[in-house]
């Protein structure tokens, strides 16, 4: 499969535009930097490790907070390491969880080696095969605004075909305890009725 | 003879306000899994591999609720790197691990991971407790839950193979 053309920073800025109280979990590596570049906020929970775990953190969060929207933002390599999570999530089918996979067909952190998606593995088709009802693949910038709306409304897995670029790193805090405590504090503030 | 300790353990989990039960099935956990599915206040989540349950529990905690992970000792190795999540983030984890490979085990493939389980978990920084007798199961789980959620540390309770009963092997 040829590489995508979308600019990853443009994609993530569009998907996280006007986040409100959206709960965001990012997979390690570039997805975490992209979310930080779009604007650090306490309701972003960044993984700096625990590869393969982003989608499942999203599931636990979505089940715990059924009235809130959860978006997992991760890369193809991180999603491939936790493929079973797609089956596990499909069984639970929470309607408040969406996943956006930034797919450049590369392991970007480690020397840009080709990942399985560069050789034809199709994460949207895999999700469909696991029982997800709603999946899509997006390759054009014009599709980003409608996609943002869908990701905040549907139980959708979206694969975004991004270019294999390596933009400058934007590093959010990496102290896990800090990230955990500020997330819970912000969640409890935003859950308080006005 | 019907064993009562799994129901006692389930009550301990209920009292600890566990709301998500991630599990990789094991015969030793069968009753707990059945009870979790039947309980309207709990969400039973079947996993494809044990480390999913570590991440699930982290997400549950981020969302303000409590989870438990039910698994067999053979799955402990799958969890090791994922333990960096609760350890780094100073989050609780409660895992109930049924032991294989130690008491009358018929399957040699269970012995390596079963034998290494306590040392591997301790080496990673997980608090390890062990249950040998039925009458101490519920109180050990209750104490482990308090330790995990009040002191926010990862805790594993090892349910010995002698307690759950060696699996019968039909030749």
Fold topology of B5-164: Rossmann fold (3.40.50)
Confidence tier at B1 by pLDDT (50, 70, 90) = very low
- Interface probe for A, chosen from B37, B54, B63, B64 (most Cβ of A below 10 Å), is B63
Contact (CB, 8 A) for B27 and B6? no
Share of chain A above pLDDT 90, in %: 95
ipTM associated with this complex: 0.97
Residues near B61 by Cβ (< 8 Å), separated by ≥ 6?
Answer: A60, A180, B67, B91, B92
Q: Does A84 touch chain B (CB under 8 A)?
A: yes
Domain limits of chain B? 5-164
Closest chain A residue to the Cα of B88, Cα to Cα: A176
Q: Do B55 and A188 touch (CB under 8 A)?
A: no
Closest chain B residue to the Cα of A44, Cα to Cα: B62
| Residue of B53, B63, B84 with shortest CB distance to A64 | B63
Residue B16: strand, helix, or coil: coil
Q: What is the pLDDT of residues A56-81, one digit of tens each?
A: 999 999 999 999 999 999 999 999 99
- pLDDT lower than 70: segments of chain A: 1-2, 192-194
pLDDT given for residue A176 in this prediction: 98
Q: Does A121 touch chain B (CB under 8 A)?
A: no
Q: Is the pTM of this model over 0.80?
A: yes
pLDDT given for residue A194 in this prediction: 45
CA distance B9 to B31: 10
Give the gap in angstroms from C-alpha A23 to the nearest C-alpha of chain B.
10
- HSE value, Cβ hemisphere, 13 Å, CA-based, for A126: 20
Closest chain B residue to the Cα of A25, Cα to Cα: B59
Residues near A73 by Cβ (< 8 Å), separated by ≥ 6?
Answer: A12, A15, A16, A24, A25, A26, A27, A31, A34, A35, A54, A100, A102
Q: Does B40 touch chain A (CB under 8 A)?
A: no
CA distance B102 to B111: 7
Fold topology of A8-189: Rossmann fold (3.40.50)
């Amino acid at each position: 499969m040829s590489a995508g053309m979308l600019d990853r920073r443009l994609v993530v800025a569009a998907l996280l535009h006007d986040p409100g109280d959206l709960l965001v979990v990012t997979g390690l590596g570039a997805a975490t930097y992209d979310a930080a570049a779009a604007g650090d906020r306490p309701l972003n929970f960044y993984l700096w490790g625990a590869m393969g775990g982003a989608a499942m953190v999203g599931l636990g969060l979505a089940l715990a907070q059924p009235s809130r929207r959860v978006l997992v933002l991760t890369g193809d390599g991180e999603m491939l390491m936790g493929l079973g999570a797609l089956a596990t999530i499909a069984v639970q089918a929470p309607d408040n969880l969406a996943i956006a996979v930034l797919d450049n067909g590369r392991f970007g952190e480690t020397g840009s080696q080709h990942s399985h998606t560069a050789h034809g593995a199709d994460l949207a088709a895999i999700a469909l095969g696991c029982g997800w009802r709603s999946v899509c693949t997006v390759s054009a910038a014009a599709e980003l605004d409608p996609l943002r709306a869908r990701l905040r409304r549907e139980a959708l897995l979206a694969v975004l075909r991004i270019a294999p670029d390596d933009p400058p790193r934007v590093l959010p805090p990496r102290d896990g305890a800090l990230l955990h405590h500020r997330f819970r504090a912000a969640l409890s503030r935003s859950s308080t009725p006005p | 003879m019907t064993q009562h300790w799994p129901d006692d353990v389930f009550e301990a989990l209920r009292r600890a306000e566990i709301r998500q039960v991630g599990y990789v099935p094991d015969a030793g956990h069968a009753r707990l899994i059945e009870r979790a599915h039947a309980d309207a206040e709990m969400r039973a989540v079947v996993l494809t591999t044990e480390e999913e349950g570590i991440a699930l529990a982290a997400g549950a905690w981020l969302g303000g609720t409590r989870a438990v992970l039910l698994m067999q000792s053979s799955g402990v190795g799958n969890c090791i790197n994922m333990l960096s999540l609760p350890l780094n983030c100073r989050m609780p984890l409660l895992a109930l691990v049924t032991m294989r490979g130690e008491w009358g085990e018929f399957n040699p493939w269970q012995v390596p991971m079963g034998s290494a389980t306590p040392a591997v978990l301790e080496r990673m920084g997980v608090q390890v407790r062990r249950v040998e007798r039925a009458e101490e199961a519920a109180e050990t789980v209750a104490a482990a839950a308090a330790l995990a959620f009040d002191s926010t540390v990862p805790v594993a309770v090892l349910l010995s193979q002698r307690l759950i009963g060696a699996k019968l092997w039909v030749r």
